[in-house]
Amino acid sequence: MNYLITPPSTHYDGGIGITGCNFRHAADTLKEHGASLDGVLPLCYLHRHAIELFLKSMIFILHKRYSIEFGDGFSLEKPAIKVGDKWLRMDKTHNLSDLYSYFEVIYENCKEALPETICWDMPTDIKTKIDMVSGADPKSTFFRYPKSGSAHQDVKKSRIQKTTLDGAFDNSQKPRKLALMLDQNDELIETYDMDSDALGKTQEALDYLSDFFNGVHVAFRYELANGS
């Protein structure tokens, strides 16, 4: 796989895919070594951006390999995706649902031309997971800032969540790590769960999609771009 040892500027996709690989590797490193940090936002962002770049790389590869034309004013030097009836510059497009929907269209159109060496079928739950993540972060801003949406959604961005001492033990099978805030008389005034999973389902989807599209991207590079 030459793209792993050559400069991004020489790659078949101009370096989009290897950048996705680097973001995914950074997520794995943070997950392994950042246990002491409230690292929900950076971890989610790294996985989300990796998914975005993998999709963009695969779209670019299909256009290049099968000579699929872009809309007027766009080309391999200035790639774009079609959202509804409008062409949008790829580097200005961050909505995962839009990217995946466009990928699905050209992917299905190219499917008969794909090499028969592997199964190219996409799992049926991929779009559901993409739409879940995109619904939480349509513009790639949700995981980048502490405040970027509604207060209800923003409060989920931390593993540290306000709770009650009694409520923290509703699920007796799960160990809890709590911070108790006491007043000057040692009376309990606030309780915080230090390891909540407010973004649990979204995190699971991001982890799954990042791993899945990493594998699909490898297949694209090997089968459609001769490893370059």
Instruction: Tell whether 58 and 143 lie within a shared domain.
Output: yes
Residue 106 C-beta-side C-alpha neighbours within 13 Å:
24
Q: What is the pLDDT of residues 31-69, one digit of tens each?
A: 888 655 667 889 999 999 999 999 999 999 999 999 999
> What pLDDT, on the 0 to 100 scale, is given for residue 38?
67
The residue that leads in pLDDT, 18 or 32, is 18
pLDDT for 160 beyond 80: no
Average pLDDT over residues 15-42: 87
Q: What is the pLDDT of residues 181-206, one digit of tens each?
A: 888 888 887 877 766 776 788 989 99
Q: How far apart are CA 187 and CA 167, in angstroms?
A: 18
Instruction: Tell whether 55 and 122 lie within a shared domain.
Output: yes
Instruction: Tell whether 13 and 54 lie within a shared domain.
Output: yes
Which one-letter amino acid corresponds to residue 106? I
Instruction: Tell whether 130 and 188 lie within a shared domain.
Output: no
Count of domains in the chain? 2
Per the domain annotation, does 98 fall within a domain? yes
> What pLDDT, on the 0 to 100 scale, is given for residue 198?
65
Average pLDDT over residues 26-31: 92
Q: Domain range spanning residue 192?
A: 160-196
Q: What is the average pLDDT value for the chain, to the nearest integer?
A: 89
Per the domain annotation, does 228 fall within a domain? no
List the Cα angle 139/95/74 in 5-degree steps.
115
